Amino acid sequence: MTKKDYIKQLERIATLLELSGENPFKISAYRKAAANLETFQGDINALSDFTEIKGIGKGVAEVLEDIRLHQESSLLKSLKEQIPEGLIHMLKIRNLGAKKIVKINDALGITTIDELKNACINNEISALPGFGKKSEENILVSIDEMLTMTEKLSIYQVHQFTEMINNGLEEIEAINRYSVTGSFRRRNEYSKDIDYIVETNQRDIVKAQLTALPFIKKVELAGDEKVTIQVAKDDVVTTVDFRFTDASNYAHMLQHFTGSKEHNIRIRQLAKERNEKVSEYGITTSDGNIIQLKREADIYNHFNRPYIPPEMRHDGSEFDFDNFNQIIKNDDIRGDIHMHTTYSDGAHTIEQMIEACIAKGYEYMMITDHSKSLFVANGLSEERLLEQNERIKELNRQYKEIDIYSGVEMDILADGEMDYSNDVLSQLDYCIGAIHQSLNQSEAEIMKRLINACENPYVRHIAHPTGRLIGRRHGYNVNMAQLIEIAQNTNTVLEINAHPMRLDLSSEILKQYPDLKLVINTDAHAIQQLDLMKYGVSTAIKGYVKKEQVINTLSREAFKSWIQNGK
Ligand SMILES: [Zn+2]
Ligand SMILES: [Zn+2]
């Protein structure tokens, strides 16, 4: 259990207590405890008693102990059982917090999103004290936004499901190999369901073990060709198909079920031109023989085409592209330059992050904690920032195998000012500018902030440039063409934030602007999240990004001079 895990549960408890109408003192005790835990610098797992942390009383300490022993707090569990599911779902509606939900529930007895939607349409919400016409409209818009966004699974949700499923498949010895296919393998931002292919010589055994995996909610089909199950995680349910294959046609199954539909139409046309047929079982030649190739790449090569990465298999136009060797790959990445530590809201210390980056084989890395105005993330005061800066420089002298740079992810404030003075920034190696607050401003206000950041001599890169969260919120009002122009003119780099909740910039934008200078970063808040780099690279591949566009593909020496040369 990391500090983050504890904080999350405390915050969830506070929110659910609020939903159940508990008294404000009790609720704020949990909120305050979460905030105190956030600023706690020591090793949480080494504590014998949680009351040792400043501001944590006996009651909350008991809850924390319960989490330490049982992973999930029993208080949280019972709250989840008591409160109507619909009210908990309503928390996902933008512009609607627990307090308002309680008011609506008390006054109108509404417990589902459908009922809430109808009440908005019938003007029952604007009739309540404290809710105007405007807030009723906002709720309605947010409901529609949420419903369209949650119709499908977001890539982050699929990522979480596949991690869980992969762990299950790893345990089944009779499986020789397996792969996820479909839209998730193509790294689409949304998927309808999840598809796997599974190679085995013992289908009956695999079938029995597959349908007995602990996280399965329901078995829909257990056939000899295919098993279909429903899995649930938190309150999300999805369907997963497992198709059985033999070793001989594995590559063909993989290619076929990865799609896309339009991509496979082009493959079938290529086959037709040669009087051949292509299917999930292999290639039928003009004389009726079936060829079964070993690797997916062999299939493309058979049709005199270079291998097309799954991310690029889209509308068929990828067959007309030639320069696949210029497109970025996972092993081109030499460092990660946006990550957090326990100094702000990260789960691991600077040293732990360094060890993890070394283990990944990185040549350089950058520590970029949050700045002082981001209170919710325990942002660093000037004093703490400069103290951290010294600490990082000292560690950089100690570790020979990696260059460790000292940076910051600085808030671009609502009025367009920067969170630190240039005097402070000049003492660091690097500064990332980021918008985290006042996201609902007009385009003019947002652009003023972004332009100021780009024009600042120390802001080298803009984090998650649109601020979107896939499946949860659209970004703020960015004029992308204008941002890109100003970024290019000021030598400011834009980020592909690799976290599958963000993927920001998106592959669509990347494809539109082929000459952008970029960095791909995980924005890791824990060592495990450093592994999410592959989603950033996939987004880049999907957006036809070339290796030469990406700064963190530079060699150790070249990156060093890039840092030293400034903007
Ligand atoms: Zn950020
Ligand atoms: Zn960050």
Domain ranges within the chain, ordered by starting residue: 3-150, 153-245, 250-322, 330-565
Q: Is the pLDDT of residue 151 over 80?
A: no
> Which pLDDT does position 220 carry in this prediction?
94
d(CA 448, CA 437) in angstroms, rounded, equals 14
Ligand at minimal distance from the CA of 502 is: 1
Architecture of domain 3-150: Orthogonal Bundle (1.10)
**Ligand 2 centroid vs 492 CA: distance in angstroms?**
17
C-alpha 466 to ligand 1 mean position (Å): 11
Q: How far is the CA of 434 from the centre of ligand 1 (A)?
A: 6
Distance 363 CA to ligand 2 centre (A): 20
Higher-confidence residue: 416 or 21?
A: 416
CATH architecture of residue range(s) 250-322: 2-Layer Sandwich (3.30)
3-state secondary structure of 147: helix
Question: Which listed ligand is nearest to 435 at the C-alpha?
Answer: 1
Q: How many angstroms separate the alpha carbon of residue 368 from the centre of ligand 1?
A: 10
**Distance between Cα 443 and ligand 1 center (Å):** 19
Predicted model pTM: 0.81
Give the range with max mean pLDDT: 10-19, 34-43, 89-98, 558-567.
558-567
- Span 476-483, mean pLDDT? 95
Q: How far is the CA of 556 from the centre of ligand 1 (A)?
A: 25
513 CA to centre of ligand 2 in angstroms: 24
Domain 330-565 belongs to what architecture?
Alpha-Beta Barrel (3.20)
HEC string of 20-31? CCCCHHHHHHHH
Question: How much is the average pLDDT of 266-291?
Answer: 96
Find the 409 Cα to ligand 1 centroid distance in Å: 7
Query: Is domain 153-245 classified as CATH 3.30.470.10?
Result: no
* CA–centroid distance, residue 226 to ligand 2 (Å): 42
Helix pair angle (58-70, 3-19), 10° resolution:
120
Tell me how far the alpha carbon of residue 499 lies from the centroid of ligand 1, in angstroms.
Answer: 11
Looking at all shown ligands, the one closest to residue 345's CA atom is 2
- The chain-wide mean pLDDT, for the chain, equals 94
Indicate if the pLDDT at residue 471 is higher than 90: no
DSSP character string of 38-51: HH--S-GGG-S-GG
Q: Which amino acid is located at 115 in the chain?
A: E
Residues with CB in 5 Å of ion ligand 1: 434, 463
Q: Which of 49-63, 199-213, 504-518, 527-541 has the lowest mean pLDDT?
A: 49-63
H or E segment to which residue 60 belongs: helix 58-70
Residue 410's SS3 state is: strand
Alpha helices in 91-233 (DSSP H): 98-108, 113-121, 133-150, 155-170, 182-185, 203-210
Q: In which band, very low, low, confident or very high, does the pLDDT at 210 lie, cut at 50, 70 and 90?
A: very high
Q: How far is the CA of 409 from the centre of ligand 2 (A)?
A: 6
Q: Is 390 in contact with 423 (CB distance < 8 Å)? A: no
Q: Kindly report, residue by residue over 262-278, the tens digit of the pLDDT.
A: 999 999 999 999 999 99
At residue 497 the predicted structure's pLDDT band, cuts being 50, 70 and 90, is very high
Q: Calculate how far, in angstroms, residue 125's C-alpha sits from the geometric centre of ligand 1.
A: 35
Which pLDDT score is estimated for 219? 95
Q: What ligand has the least distance to the C-alpha of 525?
A: 2
- Indicate if 330-565 has the same CATH topology as 153-245: no
pLDDT class for 324, splitting at 50, 70, 90?
A: very high
| 62 CB-near residues (< 8 Å, 6+ apart) | none
